[in-house]
Chains A and B, each alone.
Chain A
Amino acid sequence: DAGVIQSPRHEVTEMGQEVTLRCKPISGHDYLFWYRQTMMRGLELLIYFNNNVPIDDSGMPEDRFSAKMPNASFSTLKIQPSEPRDSAVYFCASSLDIAETQYFGPGTRLLVL
């Protein structure tokens, strides 16, 4: 298996623009997680899905953030409108079950100017 795939790997955008991050989990994994990593706050869980259904979005910072999982092999994290404080590395991870090992994608490094 190719592992968790994320795109783009790097994104530079201007404040106010819409940003869409993409993730393809490992085939057969029922759980998908979106994390954000910053120097100040470390690794934060934003939202996770089970069988394409959002289970816990309590980590989503505000209404500007939204995530979808239209099918078992694809998820998006959207920020609209983006702000400079959204600059971070965004990781997607997947696992077989909630407490099982999570396998992380390479991350998307987002810079909002």
Chain B
Amino acid sequence: AQKVTQAQTEISVVEKEDVTLDCVYETRDTTYYLFWYKQPPSGELVFLIRRNSFDEQNEISGRYSWNFQKSTSSFNFTITASQVVDSAVYFCALSKDRDDKIIFGKGTRLHILP
């Protein structure tokens, strides 16, 4: 069975600090996809990244970076020099190739304090 665990329910950091959101997944498949979505206070869900299981290269996009480690089944998300606008709930998600729907984690609520 597939599972996504985001152990951090809520995190608060002061603006400009770096923060890492953890995501641990479980799957028996060799081919799968991992996602991060952001849900700001306005409520919409915004796609951030999609990574397939064969690509373990770390990804950087501006202040955002993702660390994918198959050895620990983790796909962690780091925000560097956090800003108040980063305050949101962040969801990690997993899907198998072809046949299966996306499974979402419970989310991590991130508060960036001014």
Contacts and interface: CB of A to CB of B under 8 A. Distances in A.
Interface of B: 33, 35, 37, 43-47, 50, 91, 95-102, 104, 106-107
Interface string A58-101: 00000000000000000000000000000001010100011111
B101 A107 contact: no
Interface residues of A, number: 21
B45 A99 contact: no
Interface of A: 33, 42-43, 45, 48, 56, 89, 91, 93, 97-107, 109
Given A42-B106, A42-B107, A43-B107, A98 B45 contact: no
B100 A103 contact: no
A99 B33 contact: yes
A5 B108 CA distance: 26
Given A98-B95, A99-B95, A101-B50, A91 B101 contact: no
A45 B47 contact: no
Given A99-B102, A101-B35, A101-B50, A107 B43 contact: yes
